[in-house]
Chains A and B, each alone.
Chain A
Amino acid sequence: MTVPTDQHKELKKDVTFRIFRFNPQVDSKPYFDDYTIPVERGITVLRSLNYIKEHIDASISFRAFCQAGICGSCGMRINSLSQLACTTQVWDVLSKSKEHGVIKVEPLRNLPLIKDLIVDMDPLVGKMKHYSNWVDSTMPEASMGKKEFLISEQEFLRYDKATDCILCASCVSECSILRVNKEYVSPAVLLKSFRMNVDSRDAIHEQRLAELVKDHGVWDCTHCYRCQETCVKSIPIMDAIHGIREDAIESRGMKDTSGSKHAEAFMSDIEKKGKLVEATLPIRTNGVLWTLQNLLPMAVKMIIKRRTPPPPPLVKSAKGIKIFREMFREMTEHVKQDHKSHKK
């Protein structure tokens, strides 16, 4: 392979790749190795890694397959952002480097590390299975192949974008919930779940939804939007997550998890007072017992430091609450109408 040299000599720069190294057989902890190579314009990070592997250090391990941005193998963190090495231009990331001329390459986060830039994808596959990320067809197997389903362009468009997902796990790596809870469903799995749920050929929508609303499920997302910002295929993942939540509220009501109860408590406070009644929020979200067990020590500290929120009777309605309630009622009505037209 000929990474450097072209007829245009000026279009070449020395670039240092600072690569995360870890071999579980010999290393007790990870470290970084620096490799400096000349890189011309138009070269991707993957081609540079290939060059380093072939010419300098054959022991660097990373995954790569299609080299064209469709297989999703080469997801890694380049200058601290999860992306595909094969579609990332060296010169582009170089302009955003913290240290001049240095590109830092690390494995994806939130998945178990195997070696160097390779992480274990099995947990993600396990979650796809757990949340039934497949169409369970309404058609019996014996009848298949004879007739096609009739599907409107409108329905196709509802899941079209979601089927762009190549499971590269960039969103998994950037997810802020997964950093603290590895059991969390994961943005990619929520996206796939949504895609299955809106497919009229699927027969297990209720069953999948029932699993999604449990602990570690759809209500755990904190709307940080990092998954959507990092998605290499620019898929609006948050739309899918909101889609599942709206669906859950509509078909199951607000009873499932602390997440949905929390959302309900928020809504009712806002509607009544135009602001939060913080003192009772934990009780309404998680129940009295949980609150006493988990928050009593904190409550005591808050009382000592005189930082307690005002008790509910003292929370006065916000200014202009009457006008606000009117607006709130109108918006709720709007959302309901929207849902109805969607369903059609």
Chain B
Amino acid sequence: MRFERMKPFDIVIVGGGGAGLYAAMEAMKTNPSLNIAVLSKVYPNRSHTSAAQGGANAALANKAKDDTVEMHIFDTIKGSDYLADQDAVDVLCSEAPKIIRELDNIGTPWSRMDDNTIAQRPFGGAGRPRCCYCSDKTGHTILQTLYEQCLKKGVIFFNEYFALSLSVKGSRSRGLIAMNMKSGKVEAFPAKTVIFATGGYAKMYWNRSSNAAGNTGDGQAIAYRAGIPMKDMEFVQFHPTGLRKSGLLVTEGARGEGGYLINRDGERFMARYAKEKMELGPRDLVSRSLETEILEGRGFDSPAGKYLHLDLTHLGADLIKSRLPQIREMSMQFEGIDPIVEPIPVRPTAHYSMGGIDTDNFTRTVMEGVYAAGECGCVSVHGANRLGGNSLLDILVFGRIAGHTAAQEAGKFEPGTISEAELTAQYDDIRSFMHSSGHYERYGELREELGQTLGTNVGIFREASLLKKGIQDVAELKERFKKVRVFDTSDVFNTNLMQVLELRNMLDLAETVATGAYAREESRGSHTRTDFPVRDDAKWHKHTLSTQVNGRVALGEKPVTMGRYELQERTY
């Protein structure tokens, strides 16, 4: 049998990271009699939530006694360059203290202050130290805690299942179709409600991304192909210092401790861009400075791409060993370089996707019974630029809301039946890549080229002619993709097939990113147009919507919800 059919579920959650697990936990709490399944293409504890080191913002006022939810709201709106919806930010920041305490109540090992309360530290763009943390492994410990609690509650997990498509009838979904990696079977999950929580899509920049290999926007791509609109896809955050070879992050701490950024002429080039703050300017400014140095030919050359130096050698072995042990370990593990004796090769790296599936404040999409949360969804709370410490918070708050809403609304819907014909179509579709005739393209090359063109043409600096080239390149890659060959024909754990399907998802979404960036003729937050260098509130103070119509992107728009805060120039 090539197919398998599950009994109908009340809620199927796609993705087992912070948002998905919180949704599962909250849904079981809201209504313990519900039949809930979590599908994940990895074991949930592997999810990319684990890579978040910094922490989660909440105005607990443990550290700064005068911190308030209101200040957190303002910082977030200002940070978003006024593109965030103010009512959504209100929800995010008001729920924050409750969610951090709840995580504490179920066993998250938060670091502690002298008075035994949850520790907080300062973070970029925040007026008060409100970032709650567990050493430098905050995301990891939150993910472990949520996974443990889900095991305790007996959540049903379908681990190593790769989601293929939504089964849609008219304006609503009948459930999900997924591939069991262990058997290669295509399985039907009829469900009253589906929650997408599959994380971000910044891996489409491939070697120029700090993301996990699997952050390929699977949930967004499935929703997009089912006709659900994506929102603000052009907003991708770049981090200034990614490692040259892998794009992995060298955290801001390295510059905080006194590291220099040096070009091939041996210059501390930040003097040109931020005379006073030098290496410690805001993230987007530093990223743009590194990119300018490279574009103007002052970077170092290597076949792995151009790069600059992050020099720590003058700090001395003692300081590096005591204060920056993680960075030293990383440089040695991933570049084979000891920063005590050699500078670290770095360049800006795609880090976070602000855009995602368009949802309301209750995580509902336009399709009945379909919800999206976390980096996968776009409420929007981050607008054009996300603040550090707000991404973990986002997945927790809106993961929880998604679980609660779906649990309350599941009763309204009937689970549909997923037909044999639909399963056959999916099966034939994925097997078609294994045909030898007419299939010869190698997915590795296409994936590499996708990252290259996005990094060059839809990267930190954008401009009409570059973006046109980017759109054209992506279209050509999509054509070539039709001829991609899956060389591994086995059913059991076919990672070759999985990577090809991930590439398809990235290609579909890349089209929306490039098209949105081309349309938005202004500079706002992470989106910098050299041909339109200022923010244009009259024309562009609005969200972009991308919908798939006849296989192509159709752009639409949605107003930004304002509130107490008027538009202001964003200066720090």
Chain A residues within CB distance 8 Å of chain B? 1-2, 5-7, 23-26, 41-44, 47, 53-55, 57-59, 61-73, 86-89, 91, 114-116, 118, 121-122, 125, 128-129, 132-137, 139, 141, 143-153, 156, 159-160, 163-167, 196, 199, 201-202
Contact = CB atoms under 8 A, between A and B. Distances in A.
A25 B46 contact: no
B424 interface: no
A42 B152 contact: no
Nearest to A40: B336
B48 interface: yes
B491 interface: yes
A2 B151 contact: no
Contacts of A69: 333
Given A71-B212, A201-B107, 11 more contacts: A42-B334, A44-B333, A53-B495, A64-B213, A68-B51, A87-B333, A114-B182, A114-B492, A115-B490, A150-B117, A163-B144
B117 A6 contact: no
Contacts of A67: 212-213, 246, 248
Nearest to B335: A42
Contacts of A63: 42, 495
B200 to A, nearest CB: 13
23 contacts: A6-B302, A6-B303, A7-B303, A26-B490, A58-B496, A59-B487, A61-B488, A68-B212, A71-B212, A73-B42, A114-B493, A116-B493, A118-B493, A135-B106, A144-B101, A148-B60, A149-B105, A150-B116, A150-B117, A164-B137, A167-B43, A196-B107, A202-B107
Contact of B213 (A65, A118, A164, A202): A65
A115 B137 contact: no
B135 interface: yes
A62 B495 contact: yes
A223 B48 CA distance: 34
Contacts of B137: 70, 163-164
B245 interface: yes
A208 B244 CA distance: 47
Among A6, A145, A165, which residue has the most Cβ atoms of chain B within 10 A? A145
B107 A152 contact: no
Contacts of A58: 486-488, 496
A42 B151 contact: no
A59 B47 CA distance: 24
Interface residues of B, number: 73
B106 A2 contact: no
Given A42-B245, A148-B105, A153-B114, A166 B303 contact: no
Interface in B37-55: 42-43, 45-48, 50-51
A208 to B, nearest CB: 12
Contacts of A24: 492
B99 A145 contact: yes
A121 B144 contact: no
A128 B494 contact: no
A144 B332 CA distance: 43
Contacts of B332: 89
A121 B486 CA distance: 26
Contact of B50 (A66, A116, A118, A153): A66
Contacts, number: 198
Interface of B: 29, 42-43, 45-48, 50-51, 60, 98-102, 104-107, 109-112, 114-118, 134-135, 137, 140-141, 144-145, 148-149, 151-152, 159, 182, 207, 212-214, 245-246, 248, 301-304, 330, 332-337, 442-444, 448, 486-488, 490-496
A163 B490 contact: no
A145 B493 contact: no
Nearest to B249: A68
Contacts of B335: 42
A59 B488 contact: yes
A211 to B, nearest CB: 14
Given A71-B50, A137-B107, A148-B117, A41 B336 contact: yes
Contacts of A167: 43, 45
A26 B212 CA distance: 31
Contacts of A199: 107, 109
Contacts of A66: 46, 48, 50-51, 212-213
A115 B448 contact: no
Nearest to A69: B333
Nearest to B97: A145
Contact of B303 (A2, A25, A44): A2
Q: What are the nearest 10 A-B pairs in CB distance? A: A135-B107, A42-B336, A54-B444, A134-B148, A58-B487, A59-B488, A150-B116, A145-B102, A145-B98, A71-B46
Contact of A133 (B148, B302, B486, B487): B148
Contact of A153 (B112, B152, B330): B112
A147 B101 contact: yes
A149 B109 contact: no
A65 B487 contact: no
A144 B105 contact: yes
Contacts of A135: 106-107, 145, 148
A145 B448 contact: no
A151 B109 CA distance: 10
B490 A129 contact: no
A5 B303 contact: yes
Nearest to B42: A65
B101 A146 contact: yes
Nearest to A116: B493
Nearest to B214: A65
Contact of A121 (B43, B302, B494): B43
B305 to A, nearest CB: 9
Given A44-B333, A59-B488, A89-B336, A144 B102 contact: yes
Contacts of A71: 42, 45-48, 50-51, 212
Contacts of A196: 107
A145 B29 CA distance: 14
Contacts of B448: 1
B112 A156 contact: yes
A156 B148 contact: no
A68 B210 CA distance: 9
Given A72-B45, A137-B105, A61 B493 contact: yes
B333 A134 contact: no
B43 A125 contact: yes
Q: With a 10 A CB-CB cut-off, give which of A65, A122, A129 has the most chain B CB atoms.
A: A65
B492 A23 contact: yes
A128 B141 CA distance: 16
Nearest to B486: A58
* Residue among A1, A66, A136 with the highest chain B CB neighbour number at 10 A: A66
Contacts of B212: 65-68, 71
A23 B105 contact: no
B337 A42 contact: yes
A86 B245 CA distance: 13
Given A59-B496, A67-B213, A145-B102, A163 B141 contact: yes
Contacts of A23: 490, 492
Contacts of A133: 148, 151
Given A67-B246, A71-B51, A129-B151, A115 B42 contact: no
Nearest to B45: A167
Nearest to B245: A42
A61 B149 CA distance: 31
Contacts of B48: 65-66, 71
Contacts of A163: 109, 134, 137, 140-141, 144
A322 B275 CA distance: 77
A115 B302 contact: no
A1 B492 CA distance: 26
Most buried by A among B47, B137, B303, B334: B334
A134 B146 CA distance: 9
A132 B154 CA distance: 11
Contacts of B486: 58
A223 to B, nearest CB: 27
A25 to B, nearest CB: 5
A134 B151 contact: yes
